[in-house]
Amino acid sequence: MPLTLEIALTHIRERLRQTVLSVLGVTTGVGFAVAMAALMQGSQEDFIRRIIDATPHITVRDDFRAVPWQPADAVYGTSAVGLSSVKPKEELRGIRNPQPKLALLAALPGVAVAPTLRGPVVLRFGGRDVAVSLLGIEPKAEVRVSKLAHDIREGSLNDLYTTANGIIIGSGLARKLGAGLGDSVSLSSSAGTIRLAKVVAIVHSGVVAIDDATAYARLKVVQVLLDRPNVINEIRLRLDDVNGARALAQRIERRLGYRTESWEEINENVLEVFQIRNIIIYTVVGGILVVAAFGIFNIVSTIVFEKTRDIAILKSLGFTEADVRAIFVSEGFLIGSFGTLLGWGLGYALCRLLGSIEIKVRTFAEQTGLPVTYDWRHYAIAAACALTAAGLAGYLPARRAGRLDPVAIIRGAA
């Protein structure tokens, strides 16, 4: 063992109580940093996983991002002219001429495509009315873009083909209505059409917004109900590479002109909240590490103060300033290292504990426990932060120790 490290070890061993307190400070900081990081990343990944599983990766809508062009633009261009009471032309909403577009998108590598007509309807059963979003789907195409078939708890997706006016409802919706498999529910659309539909399946995705307020029927049925024959208003895409969704969505929008949103864009607000939450949590954890660093600074400063004579004698023996600095920086690092090792243990234990807690929460997504991600990088980052803080906390008094004038100390002692 290097001599400077051996001297450093003896110093901190002699002050066991102070050393233990400082080590515990670092342990707490590292432990909570690891646990919080695991929890933050766990919940974020859980959210994204659910989003990616339950919703399309890209949605092409019958909508345009830019304001529709007005004939006055041709006359006045960018001049400061105000036009009031401009009545937009009433157009039938929907994606026009969808088949070539569907074929174009389906030809893209790693992309599955499904047409959808989405519209608001009121579902009535047993005297209860619930407004829902009804999706007209093609079951064969739908299985390629969503986990609908996988998420069905009762019944079957294919029953939509065998049952006239069959409908699939979310588990939350079924609970609200008190409806079950085989029940007939009434569907009323804004077009004034009313149809009876038979519940052929109940789906449970775990995403509250879907389970509580979404129903599925065959595309043709929904087109009739909404009085929009041969019309679709969404093309939903599922990608092999979810990370390429944003770039592909931009390409599709440039090509087709319709508003095309990736799953990241649709959930941007939530993802931003995650970022803010992470900043808050890591600031708090950073604060804990700073407090721990002050503890190390305190003990190393105390040792430097108590060991001024030893520093003088070491210098008189021929130890250099760097040797003396190394002794006290090592003390900071030793405390930081012990604290980090224990902190890793504490962090792992906290992760296990948090992961084992059963909590039933229905926010955006249904949860039964706290999602925790085990990632070696959390441990590495927490250790790097703790050791940097410990090194700095040791370096400041160490620098002072290195600069001490041995003659002044020896004269003082004599």
Least CB distance from residue 412 to other proteins, whole Å? 11
CB of 81 or CB of 413, closer to other proteins: 413
Distance in angstroms (rounded) separating the CA atoms of residues 318 and 313: 9
3 state SS of 138: coil
Query: Is the distance from CB of 383 to CB of 287 less than 8 angstroms?
Result: no
CB of 35 or CB of 314, closer to other proteins: 314
CB of 219 or CB of 327, closer to other proteins: 327
Distance in angstroms (rounded) separating the CA atoms of residues 7 and 327: 7
Least CB distance from residue 37 to other proteins, whole Å? 39
CB of 53 or CB of 323, closer to other proteins: 323
CB of 6 or CB of 63, closer to other proteins: 6
Token readout for 159 is 């029953």
Query: What is the sign, positive or negative, of the torsion defined by CA atoms of 252, 257, 263, 267?
Result: positive
Distance in angstroms (rounded) separating the CA atoms of residues 254 and 307: 72
Least CB distance from residue 327 to other proteins, whole Å? 11
Least CB distance from residue 310 to other proteins, whole Å? 6
CB of 129 or CB of 306, closer to other proteins: 306
CB-count exposure of residue 229 (10 Å: 0-12, 13-18, 19+): exposed
Q: Which of 210, 263, 219, 233 is nearest to 56 (CA)?
A: 263
CA of 293: how far to CAs of 17, 296, 307, in Å? Answer: 17, 5, 21
Query: Is the distance from CB of 186 to CB of 196 less than 8 angstroms?
Result: yes
Region for residue 18 given its phi and psi (left: phi exceeds 0; alpha: psi -120 to 50; beta: otherwise): alpha
CB of 5 or CB of 281, closer to other proteins: 5
Measured in whole angstroms, the distance separating CA 163 from the mean position of its chain's CA atoms is 40
**Chain contacts with other proteins (rule: CB under 8 A):** 3, 7, 10-11, 13-14, 309-310, 312-323, 406-407, 410-411, 413-414
Least CB distance from residue 243 to other proteins, whole Å? 54
Q: Which of 135, 141, 126, 204 is nearest to 167 (CA)?
A: 135
CB of 153 or CB of 411, closer to other proteins: 411
Least CB distance from residue 14 to other proteins, whole Å? 6
Least CB distance from residue 335 to other proteins, whole Å? 17
Least CB distance from residue 401 to other proteins, whole Å? 14
What single-letter amino acid sits at 335? I
